[in-house]
């Protein structure tokens, strides 16, 4: 199960101690925390990536890919964003899947 990251203190902790990783179409700032029962996830997908409908679709797709892979996700705090793309072009589901798998693998790597 994946929970929502929403408290200011969680974002502050990410800013102070977060580790940045990137894979394909996605970037992530993560701070592992074994005391958490579930990973806490937030998204940073700005208006440059299209209308609210398109951005929400991307969030839902990435959230579902994380949910399916949640057993591989280390408990902690995650801020996930989308890298800039050409105007009007967004990654397809297969590209997102590859990117999420890459992010999960990189977050499991030791520093």
Strand-pairing partners, residue 23, are 26
Q: pTM of this prediction?
A: 0.88
- Determine the Cα–Cα distance for residues 4 and 71; give it in Å rounded to an integer: 16
What residue numbers bound the domain in which 18 lies? Answer: 3-108
Supply the DSSP symbol for 74.
Answer: P
pLDDT at 61: 94
List the CATH number of the domain containing 96: 3.30.230.10
Tell me the per-residue pLDDT of 59-105, one tens digit each, with 9 for 90 and over. Answer: 999 999 999 887 788 899 999 999 877 666 778 899 999 999 999 99
| Count of structural domains, the chain | 1
Alpha-carbon distances of 98 from 54, 60, 67, 87, rounded to whole Å: 19, 16, 15, 22
Tokens 């899947």 — which residue?
A: 97
- Determine the Cα–Cα distance for residues 40 and 70; give it in Å rounded to an integer: 11
């Amino acid at each position: 199960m994946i929970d929502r990251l929403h408290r200011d203190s969680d974002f502050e902790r990410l800013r102070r101690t977060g580790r940045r990783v990137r894979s394909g179409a996605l970037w992530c700032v993560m701070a592992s925390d074994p005391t958490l029962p579930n990973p806490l996830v937030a998204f940073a997908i700005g208006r440059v990536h299209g209308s609210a409908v398109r951005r929400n679709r991307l969030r839902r797709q990435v959230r579902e890919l994380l949910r399916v892979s949640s057993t591989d996700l280390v408990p902690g705090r995650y801020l996930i964003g989308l890298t800039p793309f050409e105007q009007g072009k967004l990654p397809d589901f297969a590209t997102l899947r590859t990117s999420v798998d890459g992010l999960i693998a990189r977050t499991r790597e030791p520093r």
